[in-house]
Structure 1
Amino acid sequence: MASFLAQEDQLAKRHEEILSQRLVLLQQMANHQGDKEAEKTWQMQEADAAHKRNVALLNDIEAAGKKLQSRDHLLLHPDTVNLETLYWAKVEESFPKWEPFFLGRTQAPLGVGKIKPIKQTTSSPRK
């Protein structure tokens, strides 16, 4: 009978050890699950922030593209605008003299020499 009591005592101690190990493992599982949920939350927040940054960048790129297309960004110097206006006025003024030439009906107007082809200069050989 004493051996049964000793064996029962050993089994009770082993049972307590198993229960304490089980409690430790359950606590570790709970901690691990909490860590996974916290990391998932963090990843979701990072993904949302990245998405917002990407949308903002796309909006900025579209706005810059529209600005470039509208040419609002080009504010020419008044002297440049004046020269351009004078140039086009001169073109419009001289166009009637050149129109028959452009249409292939006559030669170039008087005072304009024969157009000479430009000779290409040879560049130095590459090393």
Structure 2
Amino acid sequence: MNLLGNIIWLLFGGLAVAVEYFVSGLLLCLTIIGIPFGFQAFKMGLLALFPFGQTSVASEQGSGCLCVLMNILWFFLGGIWIALTHLCFGLLLCITIIGIPFGLQHFKLMRIAFTPFGREIVSTRP
């Protein structure tokens, strides 16, 4: 079921979202200061490619002061707009019964868009 959901997700907008994350990650990595933010964009891009069967969890080592500071910078420098975009798309998709699973994936991406530092992507498959 995850495979079918991922295929439909890619065909109807997931690929475009992932490409946007990857392009922004490459642009952020052009500067030395932006490299950590670029890596987080790549992480979100990988989750945006195949969101079904994956989730983000707080990592054990990601609770330090540096992660908190980087998450605050991320939030004010663009994370709020990314999260609001995922919120709007999630609400639009949840209008129909068929779109609810895809809207829930946007809500999952919204959660990681708020605080990407200190989170890791894990598989929910056994």
Normalised to the residue count of structure 2, the TM-score between the two structures is: 0.21
Larger relative helix fraction = 1
Q: Which has the higher contact order (CA 8 A, sep 6+)?
A: 2
**Of Structure 1 and Structure 2, which has the larger fraction of its residues in strand?**
2
